[in-house]
């Protein structure tokens, strides 16, 4: 028996309904902020991602050569594709551009709880605004999108400038290596790298920076950071809107294109693999042949959000099963169509079962049975049976639809 590929999942109807519900909430949150949904291809040229993240990412990707000999890959994330689309299609649009997306991505890595080879991301990109207000908006939107899902999380907000200021005298290669280790929270690797590069003097200030919980403390550790006014304004805007966050200047990004504000979100009930949100300010468009436009965005790991939320009851409204004699099958289709036209999920027997078997099946799958026999067809009525209480009554079709709809509204 063939099995699904490793690192992928099958979603049965209940799970899909839960996922679609949370998707809708996130999309609606973005819509209220003026973000419009975009879509990019599932596969892109490999170069799009190696230009952004380096050749080392190839081992984590699904890479293939197409029939034209071109190196392609299934997308491992969406930000690069959205900025590529901006360069191709959106440079002349009025700025700032507010785009959001919901997409599946692919990475060839060891599967574990909350981490799969095919996974989904919800994200947003704000392109063309280089201000503290833009930074604050991205954080506030991410916060609202997560809260709309129902997940319980901790939001951390920082800025790369103080850390880069501490590392400013290092060679670019050393700076990148240390930032990458900080990004991975690899304390042992960081300690070894500082010793190997004779940079142990940085261990204490880097640790102190990560412990700062007040913006003023940051500048006591890092010194006179040129971006200080921008940092203070961003945090002031977040405070003015009562955003619940923790200042965290230990957040790092190991990639050069991140430029300033950074933020992360952590689910409170997922253990070690609990990061569900990552974002910040960056510059990417120029790598793909566009202008050096400032951008800010985030991505939410949708699968981890769903694991954190767990199963919950679905209130999808009442379900009707139409039960009929062979002579009433044509009328049964008319009745089912009327219920469906009223927005009520309705099923008709397709197995040519007897009336008793149809009722037995309806009791397992529906809330109401609409029974049609010779008497009902001749009278133009239906018998509506509540499959939970057992009560039944002959009614007009319109009254039966109204009664079922009333239960759906309760």
Classify 155 as helix, strand or coil.
strand
Classify 120 as helix, strand or coil.
strand
271: how many CB neighbours lie within 10 A of its CB? 8
pTM, full prediction: 0.89
Q: Rounded mean pLDDT of 182-205?
A: 82
Any residues with CB less than 8 A from the CB of 131 and at least 6 apart, and which? Answer: none
Question: Rounded CA gap, 283 and 130, in Å?
Answer: 10
**Cis? peptide before 96, omega within 30° of 0:** yes
Residue 2 resides in a domain: no
Q: Assess contact for 373 and 328: CB atoms under 8 A.
A: yes
Question: Rounded CA gap, 52 and 74, in Å?
Answer: 15
Asked whether residue 401 falls in the same domain as residue 345, the answer is yes
Q: Rounded mean pLDDT of 99-122?
A: 92
Asked whether residue 193 falls in the same domain as residue 120, the answer is yes
**Residue pLDDT, tens place only, 261-304:** 999 999 999 888 899 999 999 999 998 999 999 999 999 999 99
Q: Assess contact for 293 and 126: CB atoms under 8 A.
A: no
pLDDT at residue number 255: 61
Size of the chain in residues: 410
Q: Assess contact for 43 and 34: CB atoms under 8 A.
A: no
* Burial grade of 274 (CB within 10 A; 0-12, 13-18, 19 or more): middle
Asked whether residue 161 falls in the same domain as residue 305, the answer is yes
pLDDT at residue number 62: 96
Question: How many independent structural domains does the chain possess?
Answer: 2
Q: Rounded mean pLDDT of 170-181?
A: 80
**Both structure tokens of 79:** 């930000």
Q: Assess contact for 386 and 392: CB atoms under 8 A.
A: yes
> How many angstroms separate the first and last alpha carbons of the chain?
45
Asked whether residue 303 falls in the same domain as residue 390, the answer is no
Q: Provide the CATH number for the domain around residue 397.
A: 3.40.50.800
Q: Which of 257, 275, 309 is the last residue of a domain?
A: 309
**Both structure tokens of 343:** 């927005």
Instruction: Tell me the pLDDT band of 239, cut-offs 50, 70 and 90.
Output: very high
Classify 71 as helix, strand or coil.
strand
Residue 181 resides in a domain: yes
- Average model confidence (pLDDT) across the chain: 92
Residue 133 resides in a domain: yes
Q: Rounded mean pLDDT of 38-54?
A: 92
Question: Rounded CA gap, 257 and 112, in Å?
Answer: 29
More confident residue, 157 or 178: 157
Q: Which of 309, 343, 377 is the last residue of a domain?
A: 309
Residue 5 resides in a domain: no
Asked whether residue 300 falls in the same domain as residue 328, the answer is no
More confident residue, 69 or 183: 69
Q: Rounded mean pLDDT of 159-172?
A: 85
Whether the pLDDT of residue 53 is over 70: the answer is: yes
Asked whether residue 127 falls in the same domain as residue 178, the answer is yes
Instruction: Tell me the pLDDT band of 354, cut-offs 50, 70 and 90.
Output: very high
Residue 7 resides in a domain: no
Q: Rounded mean pLDDT of 22-48?
A: 97
SS3 content of the chain, % helix, strand, coil (to 5): 45, 25, 30
Q: Rounded mean pLDDT of 46-59?
A: 87
Instruction: Tell me the pLDDT band of 153, cut-offs 50, 70 and 90.
Output: very high
Question: Rounded CA gap, 277 and 35, in Å?
Answer: 18
Asked whether residue 390 falls in the same domain as residue 304, the answer is no
Q: What is the CA radius of gyration of the chain?
A: 28
Instruction: Tell me the pLDDT band of 254, cut-offs 50, 70 and 90.
Output: low
Q: Rounded mean pLDDT of 201-217?
A: 84
Q: Rounded mean pLDDT of 71-76?
A: 96
Instruction: Tell me the pLDDT band of 388, cut-offs 50, 70 and 90.
Output: very high
Residue 3 resides in a domain: no
Q: Assess contact for 279 and 142: CB atoms under 8 A.
A: yes
Beta bridge partners of 127: 97, 295
Residue 125 resides in a domain: yes
Question: Rounded CA gap, 238 and 248, in Å?
Answer: 14
Asked whether residue 231 falls in the same domain as residue 148, the answer is yes
Classify 369 as helix, strand or coil.
strand
pLDDT at residue number 99: 98
Pairing mode, strands 71-74 and 63-65: antiparallel
Q: Provide the CATH number for the domain around residue 196.
A: 3.30.930.10
Instruction: Tell me the pLDDT band of 51, cut-offs 50, 70 and 90.
Output: confident
Pairing mode, strands 319-324 and 368-372: parallel
Highest averaged pLDDT of the listed ranges 188-202, 211-225, 281-295: 281-295
Asked whether residue 47 falls in the same domain as residue 161, the answer is yes
pLDDT at residue number 256: 66
Q: Which of 268, 289, 309 is the last residue of a domain?
A: 309
Classify 59 as helix, strand or coil.
helix
Residue 22 resides in a domain: yes
State what percent of residues in the chain have pLDDT above 70. 99
Whether the pLDDT of residue 109 is over 80: the answer is: yes
Which range among 195-199, 254-258, 319-323 shows the weakest confidence by mean pLDDT?
A: 254-258
Asked whether residue 328 falls in the same domain as residue 372, the answer is yes
pLDDT at residue number 409: 64
Q: Assess contact for 257 and 292: CB atoms under 8 A.
A: no
What sign for the dihedral angle of Cα 387, 391, 394, 398?
negative
Asked whether residue 162 falls in the same domain as residue 280, the answer is yes
Q: Assess contact for 209 and 218: CB atoms under 8 A.
A: yes
Which residues span the domain enclosing 173?
Answer: 13-309
Question: Rounded CA gap, 84 and 94, in Å?
Answer: 17
Strands lying side by side in the sheet with 275-282: 36-37, 97-106, 118-127, 295-301, 275-282, 258-267, 153-159, 246-247
More confident residue, 383 or 163: 383
Asked whether residue 230 falls in the same domain as residue 342, the answer is no
């Amino acid at each position: 028996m063939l099995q699904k590929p490793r690192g992928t999942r099958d979603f049965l109807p209940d799970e899909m309904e839960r996922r679609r519900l949370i998707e809708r909430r996130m999309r609606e949150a973005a819509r209220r902020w003026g973000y419009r949904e975009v879509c990019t291809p599932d596969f892109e040229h490999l170069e799009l991602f190696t230009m952004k993240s380096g050749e080392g990412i190839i081992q984590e990707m699904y890479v293939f050569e197409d029939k034209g000999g071109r190196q392609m890959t299934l997308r491992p994330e969406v930000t690069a594709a959205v900025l590529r689309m901006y360069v191709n299609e959106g440079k002349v649009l009025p700025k700032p551009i507010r785009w959001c997306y919901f997409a599946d991505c692919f990475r060839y890595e060891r599967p574990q709880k909350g981490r799969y080879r095919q996974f989904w991301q919800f994200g947003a990109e704000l392109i063309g605004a280089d201000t503290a207000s833009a930074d604050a908006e991205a954080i506030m939107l991410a916060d609202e999108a997560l809260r709309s899902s129902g997940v319980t999380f901790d939001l951390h907000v920082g800025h790369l400038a103080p850390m880069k200021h501490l590392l400013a005298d290092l060679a670019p290669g050393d700076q990148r290596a240390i930032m990458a280790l900080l990004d991975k929270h690899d304390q042992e690797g960081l300690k070894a790298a500082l010793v190997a590069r004779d940079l142990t003097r940085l261990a204490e200030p880097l640790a102190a920076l990560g412990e700062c919980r007040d913006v003023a403390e940051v500048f006591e550790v890092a010194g006179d950071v040129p971006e200080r006014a921008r940092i203070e304004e961003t945090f002031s805007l977040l405070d003015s809107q009562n955003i619940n966050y923790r200042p965290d200047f230990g957040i790092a990004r190991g990639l050069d294109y991140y430029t300033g504000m950074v933020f992360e979100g952590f689910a409170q009930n997922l253990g070690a693999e609990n990061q569900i949100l990552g974002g910040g300010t960056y510059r990417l468009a120029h790598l793909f042949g566009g202008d050096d436009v400032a951008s800010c965005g985030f991505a939410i790991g949708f699968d981890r959000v769903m694991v954190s939320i767990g199963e919950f009851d679905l209130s999808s409204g009442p379900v009707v099963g139409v039960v009929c004699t062979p002579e009433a099958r044509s009328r049964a289709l008319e009745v089912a169509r009327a219920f469906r036209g009223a927005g009520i999920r309705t099923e008709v027997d397709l197995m040519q079962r007897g009336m008793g078997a149809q009722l037995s099946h309806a009791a397992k799958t529906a809330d109401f049975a609409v029974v049609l026999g010779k008497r009902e067809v001749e009278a133009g009525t239906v018998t509506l049976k509540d499959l939970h209480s057992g009560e039944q009554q002959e009614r007009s079709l319109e009254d039966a639809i109204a009664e079922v709809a009333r239960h759906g509204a309760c």
